[in-house]
């Protein structure tokens, strides 16, 4: 039955891509399936259900997709910093449970009528004051990556089948989602633990990681709630004050990026592009990758474990030894040298200072999500301005 649910979710998501592009905000109206698309889906559903009792293949339907470039609510999300920092995963789960019993409706976003998987997720986060985009492929670019289901917290998003289905983790091996036509939103066993799990994204911090209203923006814990250390440097780093809510460790990495830009005599715009890229790619954390030998030993943050290709470090630079590699693993895991590699490529782009930030960043990174950097521009500009005041 697990495989059947997965196949249905996959069919549903592929049909969703055929829906007309929404010209208005996703929450402004409810999208409905056309009779033609409903018929196609019903036929596909019947075909999938016909094989419900067939022996399951071990991994035959497993997705090959990996986590997308990470974003984070620790330094802001599509909803903005204030909402994301205040809301907890427990709040998300509580909001999700209020929709138990609402029927699945493909393309639906209205709980009075019915919702599909991504419409349900969008609505739940909207209820707690966090804005997420409408489609799974967009939702899975938000938040910070979680390495495994064992590390998942209530409120995390479970993305399966290469980004074609999405659910909310409840905790204790349970999840809640809008499953398939004919079913209703329910809390169920997290079948993702058996396979087909593509990525886990944390949109809001767990309860222990939420700072009290009087806490300093420069202190606290990492996105997973655990204190993380910053890679040792040859000399103490003076970190400037900033209104952007980062952990102390994130601020030190940001300061090192800003310092290197100034040392090279580049304009503040270079720092803005570099900071926005690092915020999108790694949440300003030193990610290691089990596929990259030696990377784990070079990070002080063992919880920052990535699985995207052979990408490591603040900028998620590929170091697989091919012609597309950025450099050595030690280069990519060094705040200073990884920043230099990023800036070297940035400076080869004609007119990079006049390009929109997300275009300049994308030409350096060549990401699968070229528009993802834009949402960090305001915070990156503020951070670059604040930290430049103490940069050498």
Q: CA–CA separation, 121 vs 203, rounded Å? A: 11
User: Please, which pLDDT band fits residue 389 given cuts at 50, 70 and 90?
Assistant: confident
pLDDT greater than 70 at residue 23? no
pLDDT greater than 80 at residue 7? no
Would you kindly state where each structural domain of the chain is located, as residue ranges?
2-208, 212-388
Quick count: other Cβ atoms within 10 Å of Cβ 128?
A: 22
**What's the Cα-to-Cα distance from 100 to each of 97, 171, 176, 182, 220, rounded to whole Å?**
5, 16, 9, 14, 35
Judged on CB neighbours under 10 Å (0-12, 13-18, 19+), 242 is buried
Judged on CB neighbours under 10 Å (0-12, 13-18, 19+), 214 is exposed
Across the range 139-164, mean pLDDT stands at: 90
Give 365 or 45, the one with higher predicted confidence: 365
Q: 40-49, 195-204, 318-327: which has the minimum mean pLDDT?
A: 40-49
Q: For domain 2-208, give the CATH number.
A: 3.90.1720.10
Give 142 or 205, the one with higher predicted confidence: 142
What integer pLDDT is reported at residue 255 of this predicted model?
Answer: 94
User: Please, which pLDDT band fits residue 304 given cuts at 50, 70 and 90?
Assistant: confident
What integer pLDDT is reported at residue 238 of this predicted model?
Answer: 64
User: Please, which pLDDT band fits residue 207 given cuts at 50, 70 and 90?
Assistant: low
Give 234 or 97, the one with higher predicted confidence: 97
What integer pLDDT is reported at residue 74 of this predicted model?
Answer: 38
User: Please, which pLDDT band fits residue 164 given cuts at 50, 70 and 90?
Assistant: confident
Give 257 or 205, the one with higher predicted confidence: 257
What integer pLDDT is reported at residue 284 of this predicted model?
Answer: 92
Whole-prediction pTM: 0.46
Average pLDDT of every residue of the chain: 74
Q: b vs e for 322-335, b when ≥16 Cβ sit within 10 Å of the residue's Cβ?
A: eeeebbebebbbbb
Q: With CA atoms as reference, report the closest residue to 150 among 213, 97, 192.
A: 192
% pLDDT > 90, the chain = 45
Please list, in sequence order, all residues whose beta carbon lies within 8 angstroms of the beta carbon of residue 364, skipping any fewer than 6 positions away.
273, 277, 342, 345, 346, 349
Across the range 282-292, mean pLDDT stands at: 91
Across the range 277-303, mean pLDDT stands at: 91
Q: CA–CA separation, 48 vs 154, rounded Å? A: 31
* Helical packing angle, 268-282 and 377-388, nearest 10°: 120
Give 224 or 108, the one with higher predicted confidence: 108
Of 166-175, 200-209, 228-237, 303-312, highest mean pLDDT: 166-175
Q: CA–CA separation, 333 vs 338, rounded Å? A: 7
Could you report the per-residue pLDDT of 324-373, keeping only the tens digit for each? 678 889 999 999 999 999 999 999 999 999 999 999 999 999 888 888 89
């Amino acid at each position: 039955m697990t495989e059947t649910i997965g196949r249905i979710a996959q069919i549903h998501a592929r049909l969703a891509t055929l829906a007309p592009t929404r010209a208005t905000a996703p929450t402004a109206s409810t999208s409905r399936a056309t009779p033609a698309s409903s018929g196609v889906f019903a036929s596909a559903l019947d075909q999938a259900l016909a094989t419900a009792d067939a022996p399951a293949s071990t991994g035959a339907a497993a997705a090959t997709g990996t986590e997308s470039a990470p974003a984070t609510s620790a330094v802001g999300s599509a909803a903005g910093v204030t909402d994301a920092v205040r809301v907890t995963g427990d709040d998300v789960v509580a909001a999700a449970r209020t929709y138990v019993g609402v029927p699945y409706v493909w393309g639906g976003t209205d709980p009075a009528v019915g919702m599909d998987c991504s419409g349900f997720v969008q609505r739940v986060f909207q209820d707690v004051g966090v804005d997420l985009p409408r489609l799974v492929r967009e939702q899975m670019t938000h938040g910070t990556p979680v390495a495994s289901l064992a590390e998942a917290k209530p409120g995390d998003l479970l993305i399966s089948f290469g980004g074609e289905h999405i659910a909310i983790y409840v905790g204790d091996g349970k999840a809640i989602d809008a499953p398939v036509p004919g079913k209703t939103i329910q809390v169920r066993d997290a079948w993702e633990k058996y396979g087909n799990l593509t990525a886990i994204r944390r949109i809001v911090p767990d309860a222990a990681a939420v700072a009290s209203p009087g806490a300093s923006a420069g202190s606290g814990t990492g996105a997973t709630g655990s204190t993380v250390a910053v890679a040792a440097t040859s000399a103490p780093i003076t970190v400037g004050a900033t209104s952007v809510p980062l952990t102390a460790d994130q601020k030190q990495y940001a300061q090192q990026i800003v310092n290197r830009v100034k040392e090279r005599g580049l304009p503040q715009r270079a720092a803005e592009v570099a900071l926005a890229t690092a915020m999108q790619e790694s949440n300003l954390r030193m990610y290691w990758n089990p596929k990259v030998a030696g990377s784990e030993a070079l990070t002080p943050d063992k919880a920052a474990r990535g699985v995207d290709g052979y990408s490591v470090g603040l900028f998620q630079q590929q170091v697989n030894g091919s012609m597309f590699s950025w450099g050595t693993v030690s280069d990519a895991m060094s705040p200073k040298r990884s920043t230099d590699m990023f800036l070297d490529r940035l400076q080869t782009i004609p007119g990079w200072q006049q390009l929109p930030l997300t275009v300049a960043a994308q030409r350096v990174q060549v990401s699968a999500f070229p528009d993802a950097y834009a949402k960090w521009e305001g915070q990156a500009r503020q951070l670059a301005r604040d930290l430049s005041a103490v940069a050498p």
